[in-house]
Amino acid sequence: MSELVRVERLVVDFPVRTGLLRQRRVRAVDGIDLELGRGEILGLVGESGCGKSTLARAIVGLAPPSAGRVLLDGVPVPARRPPGMRRRIQMIYQDPGSSLDPRRTVSQTLAEPLRRDRTVPAGQVGLRTRELLEMVGLGERQAHALPRELSGGQRQRVAIARALAVEPEVLVADEAVAALDASVAGSVLNLLSDLRERLGLTVLFISHDLATVRGLCDRVAVMYLGSIVEEGPVAEVFARPGHPYTRVLLDAVPSRHRRRSGTVARGLAGEPPSPLRVPPGCRFHPRCPQAAERCGEAEPPEVRRDGQRVWCHFSWRDGQAFEL
């Protein structure tokens, strides 16, 4: 599988006010390296506030990097992206209700990017709009509706169709099904999987739902406090997680195996540290169930095994396997 998107040592800082006259910078994304292969779905998971959405926005071009770079097909992406490069990476947001213009019908919403980017000749805009609606499982009835007249799942399908209007190569789905009911979310996930197959799309799928990631994604990256702590093929990471943070996340997922055995899920102790006060050494060590003295003193090394990458002093220490 050829590489389409590469993130190299990406850093994103934001200014924050810490007092009446004091201002500091908080590091939301801290030196991340990540790759997306052409045609694959990569899941990005982690607790709220770990930097997943900021990383997504940096890849799309909505959050300027403070350091590092994003490459598309091996070409560095400039800070001011030309229209052709912007079209190649599109984003699907968590709440389509707030990202769709409430005064525009669905057909007007889809026609706007077609006309702006001249994706098709002016005389074919209507035809292309109907094709996009059909592609996401909607029809003529929804074409003339306003966003408030649609269900949550229909609005998300319109948002996907709008992203597809400019014929992107990469979709970044930021918690795209988190606000939907389980049955509706399932249909949207099936749509994303089908679009990947039909159009050869590459998808960065951001979610807190590990069971969903396991069913949809080819690879998964686990993020904690601005950094990637584990990355690899979904089957390997879920079967033999190498980082204690990944193991705790998986252990918290309800499963038939755990219900049958009567095992109680183990949670993480305490809250994640503030990005303004990142712990020394391994940033997970204050909450880690297997932390040792060296964890608070030295940055964890990168360890590779069977296609997985793990940043931990004690990778795969307990060898525990998980069944979801």
The yes-or-no verdict on residue 6 having pLDDT over 80 is yes
Helix H segments across 105-149?
106-116, 125-135, 140-143
pLDDT for res 255? 62
Strand, helix or coil for residue 173: strand
The yes-or-no verdict on residue 275 having pLDDT over 50 is yes
List of residues 6+ apart from 277 with CB closer than 8 A: none
CA angle 201, 207, 212 (to 5 degrees): 80
For 98-112, the pLDDT digits (tens) are 878 899 999 999 999
For 190-242, the pLDDT digits (tens) are 999 999 999 999 999 999 889 899 999 999 999 999 999 999 999 999 999 99
pLDDT for res 177? 85
The yes-or-no verdict on residue 267 having pLDDT over 80 is no
Q: Pick the closest to residue 267 from 286, 278, 253 (CA basis).
A: 253
What is the distance between the terminal CA atoms of the chain, rounded to a whole angstrom?
A: 27
Render the burial of 262-280: b for 16+ CB within 10 Å, e for the rest.
eeeeeebeeebeebeeeee
pLDDT-derived band at 269 (thresholds 50, 70, 90) equals: low
pTM of the entire structure?
0.89
Q: Tell me if 282 sits within 8 A of 296, measured CB to CB.
A: yes
Domains of the chain and CATH, by start: 36-64+79-214 (3.40.50.300), 218-324 (no CATH)
pLDDT for res 322? 43
For 277-287, the pLDDT digits (tens) are 899 999 999 99
pLDDT for res 321? 44
Strands (E), 18-124: 23-37, 41-45, 67-72, 75-76, 89-92
| Type and span of the H or E element at 56 | helix 52-60
pLDDT for res 274? 84
Q: Tell me if 113 sits within 8 A of 158, measured CB to CB.
A: no
Q: Tell me if 161 sits within 8 A of 132, measured CB to CB.
A: yes
The yes-or-no verdict on residue 23 having pLDDT over 80 is no
The yes-or-no verdict on residue 318 having pLDDT over 70 is no
